[in-house]
Amino acid sequence: MKLETAQVKNVLRNLRFRRGLVTAVVRDYQNKEVLMVAWQNREAVRRTLSEGKMHYWSRERKKLWMKGETSGNVQLVKAVYVDCDGDTLLYDVKQIGGACHKGYRSCFFRKLRNGKLVKYRKRLFNPSRVYR
């Protein structure tokens, strides 16, 4: 999904950036599994919608990044939802490889079970071989 410049501007007008950011919740477009949650500034949203690949703002590194720019695990945008406040976007994406930098398909690979936090998913790849 790629939007025209005018369409992107129209979406941006409906958003409410807090401290310059909106929250992005990202799901697998097929099985709707939540893959990750990250942050976007205005430019990250603009690039995501115009190029059709997920871009984020790193609060720690204070820079724009495209998911997969190092790992190849890009996220192709398939659908976009906006919440009532306009400060959170929900994206359905085609995830190449895994979303999690720790090697899992989803960042939510830990679950509470009998009151304990346990890993309940298998790792897809070895992060040290993917992120150099």
55 - beta bridge partners?
A: 66
Signed CA dihedral, 101, 107, 109, 111: sign only: positive
Contact 95, 105 (CB under 8 A): yes
Between the CA atoms of 41, 13, 82 and 53, what dihedral angle is there, to the nearest 10 degrees? -50
Contact 64, 39 (CB under 8 A): no
Quick one: which segment of 40-48, 61-69, 98-106 binds its own copies (CB under 8 A)? 98-106
* Per-residue interface string for the shown chain with its own copies, residues 30-49, x marking contact by CB under 8 A: --x-x-xx------------
Q: How far is the CB of 60 from its own copies (least distance, A)?
A: 10
* Per-residue interface string for the shown chain with its own copies, residues 50-89, x marking contact by CB under 8 A: ---------x-------------------xxxxxxx--x-
Q: Is 8 helix (H, G, I), strand (E, B) or coil?
A: helix
Q: Does 23 bind its own copies (CB under 8 A)?
A: yes
- The residues binding its own copies (CB under 8 A) are 1, 3-4, 7, 10-11, 14, 18, 23, 25, 27, 32, 34, 36-37, 59, 79-85, 88, 90, 100-102, 104, 107-112, 115-117
